[in-house]
Structure 1
């Protein structure tokens, strides 16, 4: 029997943290449908020295990606996977995230008037292709041919959507471009760097902290002008977010590596919580300490944004670890659990939802989309998406990369 705290076991708090973050992500992503939204909930402008709730959610998700990497790789090693096979899996996950990210960001730049089909039909086709390709099909040898055919159909559908795509200015449309890779693409690049940084060093705390600090300091050096001599290669090869986004991933990785090291020394509990709190406070101090120089900005990925959001993530995880794993108070999260275990499915459902209701001409009255009532509407929408995710999971529809 495994001990209650084993480095081979997933922490329930990670799944709960992911579920809460996904609930907030769907909520803030729905704010565009509302009027009279408080500024503290929205994304701040690039030039502003400010940060809203919407600017915190994505860093939190990247932090969770980092939290998950050591456990995922440990489980693969336990199953007998070699390092080469793990690297292949990392590459496949990265490719999937980049491909989806590129299609989604191109949808956001689509020239609907120049297309042969409605941009909402194109959007629905895109998401259906994602589901066909990355659905978790049953382990049934007799139907393996069918499942392979469905995946091939998904790829062919993406090819067809790419062929008919027109973006940019409707009068002089262009074809698909990488743009900024989209949210999923940024997660893909950050995951790739975080996973490859962890794989050779595994659960060595010093190396994990060193990797985290490398990305944090790379981001700082970029803003300080220290890396200006690299400008000739910046447009061809650069660390995503000037180090900010992999810094969030590595911050989560540090939290997991310290946990796993603490387990090996039978020191999980108050000491681990204290370490998380200290890391959170230090990150906040770094963030507020650098704020006078470049301000807080998600769009510019300033050092202050990196430090403050890292601090919030460390402290949020410390609280959830204490509540969920130590105190075993976790039933409250059952209703949003699908968002923590079927995250990609949950993220993609709104794309179909918005397209379908637009094509159907369905729209809520303005009084249901304004002010506090509107915020309640967006919270209910987020919960509805999660419940729908759970429902389709139970009938065998669940994406996994």
Structure 2
């Protein structure tokens, strides 16, 4: 039976998809604390032709970033933002993600005995600085100067941490550096490319598909050796992940543009569901079709990894669209809601958690960190982080970039 009303602009399934992905991201990021767990949950090694659950989560998140872009830009236009304001917002958001990504990567490479403060204290202060800078402060003109002062204090704290930083090894110490940009940095570069692509093409479906195919084929061409002539510039200017990362984002953009393109038509809901399934099937066909050439590898960002994970993302979104937006069954996801609306806060909370328990020398007994019991522990930890994020939000503290 077809819907008599056209679908709304708002897709609740996007928030639910984001929340579920964040739950899984925190879960798989906690697996390093466990022992004796199934290999299919972990990241596969670069030389392996394989893919674990941990290799699927990040592509899913990039897909969601792309899903959100058309709606976010449309909402800004509806509020009256000029094109210049929107481009500035895209640039500011990219800068924030890159800056946080660089600091987090350096935290992972910090030399604990080599700094004036411990690595864990350095990490806590880093997260505090992030909150000072990008917290959503109340709209109170009387306190605007105070809130701006807190943001400046955050930047000054980051500068101080950069000065104190020592990384590497005692034999080969190093200061702050870009190294790689970390998860947040990869999201930042991908967001920039996808957001600008959509900004200049808007809801023109053909252009959205063309942009998606460009990144997919760029990745394929790199593995096929067709881009070897660009090796001299590769170390200076290159598309992140050889096109793989923005390919995931543009796959999400295409999904949203399709919806927005047909949203005024009666009965689009069922048709849209079929389109998502068809796109997922095409991606899987591409992924398994290229697997014999370079295998599946997240670390190497192979075409097969791009295709298979894009297909999984399309199928997952189709299932959630059917369940949440068509069947209106979403009460089950309420406990995960903070992860879908305060995603950055949720991502940073574990950094505070791990640092505090290390400083206090708190650890669970091994039987709680082994096998099935350990997996239950990590799932509970993920849920706890989301609940803590909700409590932090209620206190008026929430990151937004």
Q: Common fold, TM-score beyond 0.5?
A: yes
Within-5 A mapping of 1:126-141: 126-141=126-141
CA distance in 1, matches of 2:66, 2:190: 9
CA distance in 2, matches of 1:343, 1:300: 27
Length-normalised TM-score, structure 2:
0.98
After alignment, is 345-354 or 165-174 more displaced?
165-174
Separation in 2, partners of 1:4, 1:91: 34
Q: Specify the alignment match of 1:153 in structure 2.
A: 153
Query: Which digits, 9 at most, give the CA deviation of each residue in 1:202-248, with x for residues without a partner?
Result: 01111100100000000000000000010010000000000000000
Cα distance in structure 1, aligned partners of 2:32 and 2:57 = 16
The equivalent residue for 1:335 is 335
Q: Runs of at least 4 residues of structure 1 off by over 4 A?
A: none
Looking at structure 2, the residues matched to 395 and 10 of structure 1 have their Cα atoms a distance apart, in angstroms, of 27
**Post-superposition shift, 1:266?**
3.5
Residue 215 of structure 2 corresponds to residue 215 of structure 1 = yes
Per-residue Cα deviation, 1:104-162 (whole angstroms, up to 9, x for no partner): 00001111111111000000000000011000001111111111111111000000000
Kept in 2, the 8 Å contact 1:112–1:170? The answer is no
Cα distance in 2, alignment partners of residues 303 and 331 from structure 1: 37
- For 2:356, the equivalent position in structure 1 comes to 356
The aligned residue for residue 7 of structure 2 is: 5
What per-residue deviation string (whole Å, max 9, x for no partner) do you get for residues 62-84 of structure 1? Answer: 00000000000000000111111
Structure 1 counterpart of 2:311: 311
Q: Secondary structure at the match of 1:313?
A: helix
TM-score normalised per structure 1: 0.98
Q: Could you tell me whether the CA contact under 8 Å between 1:70 and 1:198 is conserved in 2?
A: yes
Instruction: Indicate conservation of the 8 Å contact 2:7/2:264, yes or no.
Output: no
- Output the CA distance in 2 between the equivalents of 1:47 and 1:87: 40
- Following TM superposition, by how much is the alpha carbon of 1:300 offset from its aligned partner in structure 2, in angstroms? 0.1
Question: 1:161-240 counterparts in 2 under 5 A?
Answer: 161-240=161-240
Measure, in 1, the Cα distance between the counterparts of 2:140 and 2:154. Answer: 20
**What is the DSSP-based 3-state SS (H/G/I as helix, E as strand, rest coil) of the residue aligned with 2:390?**
helix
**How far apart in 2 are the matches of 1:304 and 1:358?**
39
Counterpart for residue 102 of structure 2 = 102
Other-structure match for 1:116 = 116
For residue 267 of structure 1, report the CA deviation from its aligned partner.
4.3
- Give 1:265 deviation, angstroms: 3.1
In the alignment, the residues of structure 2 paired with residue 170 and residue 181 of structure 1 have an alpha-carbon distance, to the nearest angstrom, of: 23
Quote the offset at 1:4 in angstroms.
Answer: 5.8
Unmatched 5+ residue regions in structure 1? Answer: none
**Aligned twin of 2:388:** 388
Give the aligned partner of residue 45 of structure 2: 45
**8 A Cα contact 1:338 1:389, kept in partner:** yes
Q: CA deviation at 1:171?
A: 2.9
Paired residues of 2:6 and 2:265 also in contact (CA < 8 A): no
* DSSP 3-state at the match of 1:200: helix
After TM superposition, list the pairs within 5 Å mapping 1:258-297 onto structure 2: 258-297=258-297
| Other structure's SS at 1:136 match | coil
For residue 367 of structure 2, what is the aligned residue in structure 1? Answer: 367
Determine if contact 1:324/1:330 at 8 Å carries over to the other structure: yes
Worse overlay, 162-171 or 18-27: 162-171
| Aligned-partner SS, 1:10 | coil
The 5 A counterparts of 1:70-85 are: 70-85=70-85
Rounded Cα–Cα distance in structure 2 between residues aligned with 1:16 and 1:97 = 22
Q: Is the 8 A contact 1:133 1:151 kept in 2?
A: yes
CA RMSD in angstroms, aligned pairs only: 0.8
Query: For residues 14 and 170 of structure 1, what CA distance do their matches in structure 2 show?
Result: 46
* Cα displacement string for residues 15-68 of structure 1 (whole angstroms, at most 9, x for unaligned residues): 000000000000000000000121000000000000000000000000000000
Q: What is the distance in 1 between the residues matched to 2:268 and 2:60?
A: 23
Give the whole-Å Cα distance in 2 for the aligned partners of 1:266 and 1:95. 41
Q: What is the alpha-carbon distance in structure 2 between the residues aligned to residue 300 and residue 220 of structure 1?
A: 12
